[in-house]
Amino acid sequence: MKKLTVLLVLTFILLNDLYSQEKTTSKEVGLYFSSLNSFGVRYKFGNEKRMFRLTALSLSAERTTSPDQNKAGAGLNFGVELPFRITDVFSFYSGPELSGSYNRQKIYSTSFDYNTSDAYNAGIGLILGFSRSFQSNIIVSVEIVPGFSYNKIVSDNVDTTTFAFGLYSNSAAITIGYRF
């Protein structure tokens, strides 16, 4: 997971340098919400034909009392948006996205005893979304990202590996961004 993060960050830096020399570049930063308990920060850069995006800190946290448990996780996504302008303020976009995440869960059975599980996820998806510009700098985007994922869960030294394909509730997102 650490190697994947380093690779994505290096790719991001190199692509940013390549596209920063174009005359019609665009950059955008925004808040990303994919469910009621998962959010992040999204940075986009590129031009009218291609926008690279990095969604970092996709943080999630939850605490429940029945059963007594704590959940926390983080993820990193890298994608490419290919926008198609419908009107001056409304666009459709699509493209590929790579994703990775880590989640940890603790379930307490007594005050001193608990079970821990760690979940690792890596996947690739297809971005399908619409964006609307308000004024010249404010952008609101809605999207879905159906995809394929590899999941590994380690719980009490037992490994469970699964593969998944499809559209899930956390694959839908809203982003509120600022273009500069």
Domains and CATH numbers, the chain: 2-179 (2.40.160)
Q: Is the distance from CB of 90 to CB of 132 less than 8 angstroms? A: yes
Identify the pLDDT of residue 100. 93
> What confidence tens digit (pLDDT) does each residue in 119-160 have?
999 999 999 999 999 988 999 999 999 999 999 999 887 899
CA–CA separation, 179 vs 174, rounded Å? 16
Instruction: List the one residue out of 15, 4, 92, 101 whose CA is nearest residue 53.
Output: 15
Radius of gyration, alpha carbons of the chain: 18
Q: What is the pLDDT of residues 21-69, one digit of tens each?
A: 555 688 999 999 887 667 889 999 999 899 999 998 666 677 777 677 8
Q: CB–CB of 106/100 below 8 Å?
A: no
The predicted pLDDT at position 68 comes to 78
- Cβ-Cβ contacts under 8 Å for 136 (sequence gap 6 or more): 179
